[in-house]
């Protein structure tokens, strides 16, 4: 047997439910974010008037967006998963597939986004299913490379759960390609990291990849 769940970037609140990474809130008495000044300078350097009506609050909005989209740097992974680790008598594959994520390419600060598929074979320890999309979001909310993000997700699960193996596959569309002249490159980029039995055992790896194919059909 195997456990398969369909994931998505965590939203919502409440006991036992994933909580989104903190979103900066506007405070009338706050000190200006240094990023606001830099965005304002960028607008001026581009030939725009940062004081015109449509752009007057743009530096604030951009600064808040950047803080939110890079909130993964401040995330405490232990706080996220330590209360959701359980000892179980289960040694078949656990897979959370079709997790929607959004990230920023570190080369151009433009979005890349797609689906993450994460699986592991437990060795007496499992993590709450909602925590896997949460971990994907933690590593997506940074300036990233798709290749690095794939490995980071696999490595943290291997480190925290000590399973028999971990498999991670990321599919992504990169706007740094699509918006900058490579419009024909609309097929997703796929990266994978296989650890433990996913790397050593072809049958385990094939089972994982078959599960992923099933979510496309």
pLDDT at 29: 63
pLDDT at 8: 57
| 24 or 185, greater pLDDT | 185
Taken as a whole, the chain contains a residue count of 217
Residue-number span of the structural domain to which 43 is assigned = 34-71
C-alpha span between 64 and 23 (Å, rounded): 8
Total structural domains within the chain:
2
Share of the chain above pLDDT 70, in %: 83
pLDDT digits (tens, 9 = 90+) for 197-212: 999 999 999 999 999 9
pLDDT at 19: 52
Q: Which residues are catalytic?
A: 105-108, 146, 174, 176
Vertex 110: Cα angle to 143 and 144 (nearest 5): 20
Residue 127 domain-assigned?
yes
pLDDT at 180: 76
Do both 175 and 119 map to the same domain? yes
Residue 24 domain-assigned?
no
Do both 50 and 126 map to the same domain? no
Do both 62 and 166 map to the same domain? no
Do both 207 and 109 map to the same domain? yes
Do both 65 and 165 map to the same domain? no
Do both 194 and 117 map to the same domain? yes
pTM: 0.84
pLDDT at 177: 85
Share of the chain above pLDDT 90, in %: 76
Widest pairwise Cα distance in the chain: 64
Residue 27 domain-assigned?
no
Do both 110 and 163 map to the same domain? yes
pLDDT digits (tens, 9 = 90+) for 126-157: 999 999 999 999 999 999 999 999 999 999 99
pLDDT at 14: 46
C-alpha span between 74 and 69 (Å, rounded): 11
User: What's phi and psi for 74, nearest 5 deg?
Assistant: -95, 0
Do both 208 and 109 map to the same domain? yes
Is the pLDDT reported for residue 15 higher than 50? Answer: no
pLDDT digits (tens, 9 = 90+) for 170-185: 999 999 888 876 665 6
pLDDT at 146: 98
pLDDT at 17: 47
Distances (CA, A) of 155 to 22, 44, 61, 150, 169: 24, 43, 34, 9, 13
Do both 67 and 81 map to the same domain? no
Do both 58 and 87 map to the same domain? no
CATH of residue 203 = 3.30.1130.10
pLDDT digits (tens, 9 = 90+) for 54-92: 999 999 999 999 999 999 999 999 999 999 999 999 999
Mean pLDDT computed over every residue of the chain: 89
Q: Which residue, among 106, 187, 179, 119, has the nearest Cα to 146 in the 3D structure?
A: 106
């Amino acid at each position: 047997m195997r456990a398969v769940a369909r994931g998505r970037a965590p939203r919502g609140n409440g006991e036992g439910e994933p909580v989104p990474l903190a979103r900066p809130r506007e405070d009338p008495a706050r000190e200006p974010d240094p990023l606001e000044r830099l965005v304002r300078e960028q607008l001026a350097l581009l030939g725009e008037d940062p004081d015109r009506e449509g752009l007057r609050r743009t530096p604030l909005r951009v600064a808040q967006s950047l803080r939110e989209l890079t909130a993964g740097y401040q995330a405490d992974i232990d706080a996220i998963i330590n209360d959701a680790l359980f000892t179980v008598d289960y040694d078949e594959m656990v897979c959370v597939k079709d997790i929607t994520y959004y990230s920023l390419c570190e080369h151009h600060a433009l979005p890349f986004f797609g689906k993450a598929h994460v699986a592991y074979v437990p060795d007496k320890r499992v993590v709450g299913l909602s925590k896997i999309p949460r971990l994907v979001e933690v590593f997506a909310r940074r300036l990233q490379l798709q290749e690095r993000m794939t490995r980071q997700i696999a490595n943290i699960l291997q480190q925290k759960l000590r399973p028999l193996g971990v498999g991670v596959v990321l599919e992504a569309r990169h706007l740094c390609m699509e918006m900058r002249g490579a419009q024909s490159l609309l097929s997703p980029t796929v990266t994978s990291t296989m650890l433990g039995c996913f790397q050593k055992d072809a049958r385990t790896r094939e089972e994982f990849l078959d599960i992923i194919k099933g979510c496309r059909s």
